[in-house]
Amino acid sequence: MALVEQLVDSADATGAPLAGEGGLLQQLSKALLERALRTEMTEHLGYEKNDPAGRGSGNSRNGTSAKTVLTDVGPIEVEVPRDRNGVFEPQIVPKNTRRLSGFDEQVLALYARGMTVRDIRSYLAKVYGTEVSPDLISKVTDAVNDEITSWQSRPLDPVWPVVYIDALWIKVWDGKVANRPVHLAVGVDLDGCKHVLGLWIGKDGEGARQWLTIIGELKARGVEDVLVACCDSLPGLPDAINTVWPRTTVQTCVIHLVRASLRYASKADHGKLVPALRKIYTAPTEKAAEQALEGLAESPLGTKYPAVLRTWRQSWQDFVPYLAFPPEIRKVIYSTNMIESINARLRKVTRNCGHFPTEQAAVKVLYLAIRELIEPKTRSKTHVAPHWKAALNAFSIYFQDRINL
């Protein structure tokens, strides 16, 4: 506390700024780092500076050496103590280290938000007065490659009540800029917490083969059973799911059906069409839903918009599993909004990047965005699906032979 007050008094007297080159934060960081290094040296030698107990100990202090390290408040020159035997290994500022972990995390956080290397360099120079090279930023971000490999192959729980599967599109350079699908799987575990199970960059037109590879990989990582798989109308996906997990109920996204229907109708009629569609997907039984659909067909709206009826009839077999569930489960699987909220964040990140030079560069940005925006909430066990406790009770009854609490 005395050190802080001394630095504040000094800053007031000299007019030093709070942040930036020579600012109070840099001075405080320097003072704290050097104090910690001196403490490490004392622990290493086993006696305080100028303590007679150190005589004849076989090792002693031998001055300091200056070293500049990059921190999250900018570059700081610290005096690192040395010992006469040259065996002192400081932990807070390790040998051959020019960046503290806080600086690396800052770069990764900026990268995770879709900032380009040029943007990051400009930001660090403006905010912290730190000039860094593009190679340094690449080294910092490349350091997560092993982490990505581990994350992509980590074991998964054997049973998942709900898994949401969707795809978004990015641009990747492959001789030319090409649109590539990013397949994303998000699972809700028995605690109601959301986990990104994996992401895969595919090629346009792969369809069922690509989905079978993805679903097979999830099973190889430990997923033995999925109670309900929620997805949009992605070609080949339902067949791939039921090939790997035969007992899984594949449920199409109701929200997607509603949105697809509204595309065919004038906005002036949306106010009438939405309640008519709600009668279908909130019907208590399949028979009641069929009656609601026929009621729409016989109405002026059905006559005016036959494409709306065709949309529902073509998707009927993928929609009706939803009607067999109790209301508590319906609320959870009603739509793929849980995964779409993640996709929206990822789209924002990738939009800033334009196109990616390589597939690996795309994976790195997407993974860091997931780690930054999604996974911390999951690890803290605070991100629980809405209505989860009621849904879990319904799952335990409806799937009583497949779920053990």
The percent of residues in the chain predicted with pLDDT above 90, rounded, is: 29
pLDDT of 7 above 50: no
Percent of the chain with pLDDT over 70: 81
Region 385-395 average pLDDT: 85
- Region 230-236 average pLDDT: 80
pLDDT in tens, 76-98: 787 888 888 888 887 767 777 76
pLDDT at site 28: 63
Per-residue pLDDT at 300: 94
Task: Tell me the per-residue pLDDT of 273-329, one tens digit each, with 9 for 90 and over.
Answer: 999 999 999 999 999 999 999 999 999 999 999 999 999 999 898 889 889 899 889
3-state SS of the chain?
Answer: CHHHHHHHHHHHHHCCCCCCCCCHHHHHHHHHHHHHHHHHHHHHHCCCCCCHHHCCCCCCEEEEEEEEEEEECEEEEEEEEEECCCCCCCCCCCCCCCECHHHHHHHHHHHHCCCCHHHHHHHHHHHHCCCCCHHHHHHHHHCCHHHHHHHHCCCCCCEEEEEEEEEEEEEEECCCEEEEEEEEEEEECCCCEEEEEEEEECCCCCHHHHHHHHHHHHHHCCCCEEEEEEECCCCCHHHHHHHHCCCCEEEECHHHHHHHHHCCCCHHHHHHHHHHHHHHHCCCCHHHHHHHHHHHHHCHHHHHCHHHHHHHHHCHHHHHHHHHCCHHHHHHHCCCHHHHHHHHHHHHHHHHHCCECCHHHHHHHHHHHHHHHCHHHHHCCCCECCCHHHHHHHHHHHCCCCCCC
In the predicted structure, residue 135 carries a pLDDT above the cut 80 = no
